[in-house]
Amino acid sequence: MSRPEGMRSSRRSLQVKFVPDEDVLKHISDDAGTKVRKDKAQLSVSVKRFVKKLENISDNEPQEILEEKNYVAALGICAQDPVGNGSNISGGEVYSFQTPKRSNKMAELASELAQTPEQNVAPDRSKCPEKMAKTPQSSKLSILNCLCFSNFMWAEIVWKCNLKKKEFVSTTPYRLRKRLAAPDPYLESESEYSASCSEEEDEEEQKEVNTILSNQKTPAKTKAASTPPPRNSLAKKNKEQKMGNLVEEYFEAHSSSKVLTSDRTLQKLRKRRLNQQTLHDLLKNTPLAYADEIRDLNQQHESLFSKWMLQLHLGFNIVLYGLGSKRDLLEKFRTSLLQDSVHLVVNGYFPSITVRSILNSITEEVLDHIGTFRSPLDQLEFITKRFKEDSSLELYVLIHNLDSQMLRGERSQQILAQLSSLPSIYLIASIDHINAPLMWDQAKLSLYNWLWYETTTFNPYVEETSYENSLLVQQSGSLALSSLMHVLHSLTLNARGIFRLLAQHQLEKKDNPSYPGLSFQDFYQQCREAFLVNSDLTLRAQLTEFRDHKLIRTKRGADGVEYLLIPVDDSTLTDFLEKEDEDV
């Protein structure tokens, strides 16, 4: 059902119709069992047909769902599913096509999400939580929800149209902020409106037709109540929606390689960038949401520990997948069961981990072998031989994030797979990346001999992401600064002066976003004036040295002039100059 929803894209009232269908479906059909599933599919087909009449959706949809169902049945997936893995989702939902996106879509969803619970979901639940599942009343309620929701959407459209009318073009986030700061009159009117409408709906029958009808009525009333909305544009929209079909949307999504996003940058946000430490502190102080449920979830997984041990000993290796950090889980496994045996813990997320270091720690620390190897393959051979010779040797290997950047290469996986195929090496690993299973071909899979375990923990990836040069964290902070200092301290005084000059110049121009860098000629002139160089050859030699240490970058401009730039952000540069001043 997710697909049609995704297709609503720019057609507003399409959404209005779809949500109720889905809700009705949800309530009519339970979520377990094959039979019900079948019913559900059929039902969805029939409902879809109905909808199709109304809005001209291409035929393929229901067909496709049926086919998908057949395939699923053929795979034996319909077998009952006791524990919570969400595997009864069809592939089409997970791997969907690209759909056309508009720039303000996200903001809309945000406001939608922000809105929902206050309006209806929460109170409804508090009133009749247990009835929600079965009674006919509940389905009515959900229809009401959707109605209110759709009303809200209508109101928003109206409101936006108004904005347009006033020639007031704003980016969405601005709108959001505004709405957050002061409650919007239209939104208020909308909530009043939804109340009245739900009363009206109570008297009526709860059929989609009616819903749609009333939906079409509602905007008219909104018109009457508030400012008159542009009627033409609405009509036009409806027309557009009728014409829309899958194929067009597909090409729309793929036609332009250009992506339209707003130009706002974080710097304009006037928000200081957080560095790693403050980020860590802040997150430590915020309480983890749903801690109880997460603990329950983890306890479920922990009950499997001894089963894992058994299966490891029987020659299988275990791989854990699912959302959430599995580090704590594995750590608990280690402390509770592996205390008495030799084991190796590999933090795959560590940015400088290599297969070599894993093999080294096996040969050096587990096998107490001193000496080096010509290649990892030799090393592997040595390990294999030792483990085959001595049957009393056994080793547990725990790898956090087997799919990390450093380990996901073909060769490393090959070596690890061969290692894990040794009968007395027991491997238990975790993967997180969505495409992690693509690392393994049939040969590797058979070497690994995996048993898959879903361990969704919802734990935050604290350790795993701390190494990642995160997008928003103040990058290049202390590390870049210290490396700058380090390199410069090994240079001559003149060289340092040259670099200072460049840095100062760059800082002066920091407000100019299109600053190309300092041109070589200007720079030479300045250096001469400061008695730092006596010929442009010496300057060039110096610059080469800088470039080798990646302190500067040169760029050739459109006019063929060479421009010099320090690829470090301004704050670091300021810090650097301050430090330099202290030293001097």
Partner 1 sequence: GCFVFKPSTKKRRLSDKTAHDFRTTSNDSEDTELRFVTCQSLWNQIKSETEQIQENLNKQLLDNLVSFLSRSHSDFQKKTTEWTCRMKFREIPTAALVLGVNVTDHDLTFRGLSDVLQDNVTPYVALLEAKDCPGIKNLMQKLMGQLMNCDIDVDSLEDEDCVQVSQNRIRCSMSSLISWYDSVTKKTHSETPSKKRNSSSRHWQSPPVVVIFKDMESFTTKVLQDFIIISSQHIHELPLVLIFGIATSPMIIHRLLPHSVSSLLCIELFQSLSCKEHLSTIIDKLILTSRFPFKLGEKVLQVLINIFLYHDFSVQNFIKGFQLCIVEHFYSQPLSVLCCHLVDIKKRVYSLSHDQCENIRRLPSFRRYVEKQGSGKQIELLTNDSFLKEETEKLLEDLHVYHENYVRILRCLHVFTSSLPKYPLGKQIRELHCACLENRVWETEEYESSLQLARMLNKTDLVTMLQQCVEILMSSSGKEFDRAVEKLKKFLTQFQNLEEASQDRDVSISPQKELQKKTDLYHLQKTLLELKESRRSKKVTKFEMLRFEVVDYIDSLVRRYLVPAEDRTLHEIVYFNAAAVLREHLNAAPRTALHTALNNPHWYLKNQALKCDGGGISNKAPDICIVYKLHLECGRLINLVDWLEAFSTVVMAAEEPNADAASSDQVDDVIHARFIRAVSELELLGFIKPSKQKTDHVARLTWGGC
Q: Which residues inside 180-239 make contact with partner 1, applying CB under 8 A?
A: 180
Asked if 196 and 222 count as a contact pair (C-beta separation under 8 A), the reply is no
Contact pattern from residue 86 through residue 125 relative to partner 1, giving x for each residue in contact according to CB under 8 A and a dash for the rest: xx-x-x-xxxxxxxxx---xxxxxxxxxxxxxx--x---x
Of the two residues 46 and 466, which places its CB atom closer to partner 1 in the complex? Answer: 466
Of residues 544 through 583, those in contact with partner 1 by CB under 8 A are none
Give the footprint of partner 1 on residues 422-451 (CB under 8 A): 424, 431-437, 441-443, 445-446, 449, 451
Q: What tokens appear for 508 in the block? A: 């002066």
CB within 8 Å of 21: residues ≥ 6 apart: 1, 47, 48, 51, 208
Touching partner 1, residues 303-362 (CB under 8 A)? 306-307, 309-311, 313-314, 316, 321-324, 334, 338-348, 350, 352-353, 357-358, 360-362
Applying the rule CB under 8 A, the residues between 352 and 371 that interact with partner 1 are 352-353, 357-358, 360-362, 365-366
Question: Whole-number minimum distance, CB 323 to partner 1, in Å?
Answer: 4
Helix residue spans in 182-324 (DSSP H): 185-203, 208-225, 231-243, 246-255, 276-285, 291-302, 305-313
Secondary structure, 3-state, 533-571: CCCHHHHHHHHHHHHHCCCCEEEECCCCCEEEECCCCHH
Q: Closer to partner 1 by CB, 101 or 528: give it.
A: 101
Asked if 457 and 329 count as a contact pair (C-beta separation under 8 A), the reply is yes
Closer by beta carbon to partner 1, 232 or else 442 = 442
Of residues 13 through 32, those in contact with partner 1 by CB under 8 A are: 19, 22-23, 26
Tell me if 247 contacts partner 1 by CB under 8 A: no
Taking the complex as a whole, how short is the minimal distance between the CB of residue 94 and partner 1, in angstroms?
Answer: 5
**Does position 420 bind partner 1 by CB under 8 A?**
no
Torsion angle, CA of 71/74/79/84, rounded to 10 degrees?
-40
Q: Which residues, other chains included, contact 61 with Cβ-Cβ below 8 Å and sequence gap of 6+? A: 3, 4, 48, 52
CA 468/CA 470 separation, integer angstroms: 5
Determine which helix (DSSP H) or strand (DSSP E) holds 181, and give its type and residue range. helix 172-181
Window 379-408: residues binding partner 1 (CB under 8 A) = 392, 394
Burial track 302-337 (b if 16+ CB lie within 10 A, e otherwise):
eebbeebbebbeeebbbbbbbebbbbebbeebbeeb
Q: Which of 453, 499, 563, 576 binds partner 1 (CB under 8 A)?
A: 453
Minimal CA–CA distance to 118: which of 171, 214, 23, 183?
183
Asked if 260 is part of the footprint of partner 1 (rule: CB under 8 A), the reply reads yes
- Please give the single-letter amino acid code of residue 502: L
First to last CA, the chain: 68
Closest CB to partner 1 among residues 415, 495: 415
For 43, residues 6+ apart whose C-beta sits below 8 A from its C-beta are 25, 28, 29
Q: Tell me the closest approach of the beta carbon of residue 472 to partner 1, in angstroms.
A: 5
Angle at 524 between CA 521 and CA 525, to 5 degrees: 90
**Binder to partner 1 among 172, 198, 211, 413 (CB under 8 A)?**
172
Of 41-49, 186-194, 262-270, 528-536, the window that binds partner 1 (rule: CB under 8 A) is 262-270
| Strand bridging mode 395-400 / 343-347 | parallel
Q: Which of 32, 235, 282, 541 binds partner 1 (CB under 8 A)?
A: 282
Q: Which of 46, 60, 470, 504 binds partner 1 (CB under 8 A)?
A: 470
The site string for partner 1 over 286-305 (x = CB under 8 A, - otherwise) reads: x--xx--xx-xx--------
Site for partner 1 contains 147 (CB under 8 A): no
Q: Which helix (H) or strand (E) holds 508?
A: helix 493-508
Of 47, 153, 329, 473, the residue at the interface with partner 1 (CB under 8 A) is: 473
Residues 408, 412, 416, 417, CA torsion sign: positive
Site for partner 1 (CB under 8 A): which residue of 55, 190, 249, 464? 464
Output 269 or 479, the one with its CB closest to partner 1. 269
# binding residues, partner 1 (CB under 8 A): 150
Q: Which of 80, 232, 299, 490 binds partner 1 (CB under 8 A)?
A: 80
CB of 155 to partner 1, least distance (A): 17
